Amino acid sequence: MTDILVTAEISGAIGTITIRRPKALNALNAAVATQLLDAVLRLSADKSVRVIMLTGEGDRAFVAGADINEFVGASPADALTLAARIKKVTDALIAAPKPVVAVVNGYALGGGLELALACDIRIAASTARLGLPEIKLGILPGGGGTVRLTKIAGSSVARMMTMTGEPITAERAYALGLVASVHAPEELAKAAAALAESLAALAPFALAQLKSSLNIAVDADTESALQAEIKAFALCYSTADQQEGAKAFLAKRKPIFTGN
Ligand code: CO8
């Protein structure tokens, strides 16, 4: 029987993916990557799930990187296979038509930070450490780290973090805009649940269009991104939730978004 290394639990409109290899600080081996991709695709396609939370089991690590055991004796072709496997996961996180929140409960290193960088929002425990230490292993980030860290935190921060390989504290990551909020470790789950609830209460079609526009804004030229945003904005007016949002505001009541 295959070991269960990744779980996907649904509670109401919230899907939670947990990477469960705590003895190896949730390091990403081939089996984890395969199960993670499956979980992301499943929750992504499930219309009842309005927000995805991604975290690691235990209080030590989110994910401490790719499994270094798989690097020993690996060839460039093997490395391409490893990187392609992780790219499928990060592509799926970005393409998921709903918010994905990384709940960084400890070390987020290498491929672990790269997973978090592919999420829409990152929140962290004050004890978390975030870094791209690949250079210390004689390699460099291969899961999108140089690209996404540069886009999220700027070239100077990306160069500092990837060239020194030194992890930074959650507070520093907050100051650099890498994480949205920092919480005492015992408060992290509560903060994550509150964020998930608030996101799950929003209109799902508008959120999907918003995420798509934000994704385009990262990659496209300004005019194309502006056109994409206008199209997405207009599309929302085909939904009942758009009417509900406006009517609820005017009636001074909380909107009830049904996803229609
Ligand atoms: N791979 C494999 N095993 C790991 C990893 C890892 N990345 N990280 C930790 N472990 C294991 C340790 O070997 C140890 O196992 P054991 O108990 O059997 O000896 C266990 O987890 C606990 O770890 P430590 O005893 O080392 O715990 P410490 O508290 O002393 O240290 C650290 C914690 C600082 C997090 C330390 O474990 C560490 O430095 N880990 C490695 C971090 C790292 O270099 N990550 C980057 C890996 S490279 C990468 O991610 C490239 C991504 C490329 C793209 C994607 C391709 C797949």
Query: What's the sign of the alpha-carbon dihedral 144, 150, 153, 157?
Result: positive
User: What is the token pair recorded at 150?
Assistant: 């540069």
Q: Return the residue whose CA atom lies nearest to atom 12 of ligand 1.
A: 24
* Domain co-membership, 224 together with 109: no
Asked, for residue 232, whether it belongs to a domain, the answer is yes
Please give the distance, rounded to the nearest whole angstrom, from the Cα atom of residue 27 to the centre of ligand 1.
7
* Domain co-membership, 196 together with 209: no
- Can you tell me the distance from the alpha carbon of 214 to that of 36, in angstroms, rounded to the nearest whole number? 24
The domain in which residue 235 lies consists of 204-251
Is the shortest distance between the CB of 68 and ligand 1 below 6 Å?
yes
Q: Return the residue whose CA atom lies nearest to atom 13 of ligand 1.
A: 24
Q: What average pLDDT does range 224-251 have in this prediction?
A: 98
Is the shortest distance between the CB of 89 and ligand 1 below 6 Å?
no
* Domain co-membership, 235 together with 124: no
Where is the domain boundary, 200, 215, 237? 200
- Can you tell me the distance from the alpha carbon of 250 to that of 126, in angstroms, rounded to the nearest whole number? 40
Ligand 1 nearest atom to the CA of residue 68, by list position = 1
Residue 103, pLDDT above cutoff 80: yes
- 221: exposed, middle or buried (Cβ count in 10 Å: 0-12, 13-18, 19+): exposed
Catalytic residue annotation: 114, 134
Asked, for residue 259, whether it belongs to a domain, the answer is no
* Domain co-membership, 186 together with 220: no
* Complex-level ipTM: 0.98
Residue 143, pLDDT above cutoff 80: yes
* Domain co-membership, 230 together with 135: no
Hey, which of 19, 34, 68, 75 would you mutate to test ligand 1's pocket, going by the most ligand atoms within 8 Å of its Cβ?
A: 68
**Residues 179-205: tens digit of each pLDDT:** 999 999 999 999 999 999 999 999 999
Asked, for residue 19, whether it belongs to a domain, the answer is yes
> CA angle, corner 122, sides to 120 and 128, nearest 5?
155
* Domain co-membership, 243 together with 128: no
Q: Return the residue whose CA atom lies nearest to atom 19 of ligand 1.
A: 24
* Domain co-membership, 215 together with 195: no
| The total number of structural domains that make up the chain | 2
* Domain co-membership, 114 together with 151: yes
The pLDDT value recorded for residue 243 is 97
Query: What's the sign of the alpha-carbon dihedral 207, 208, 209, 210?
Result: positive
**pLDDT band at 2, cuts 50/70/90?**
confident
Asked, for residue 30, whether it belongs to a domain, the answer is yes
Q: Return the residue whose CA atom lies nearest to atom 40 of ligand 1.
A: 64
* Domain co-membership, 84 together with 29: yes
CATH of the domain at 212: 1.10.12
Whole-model pTM: value is 0.97
Asked, for residue 1, whether it belongs to a domain, the answer is no
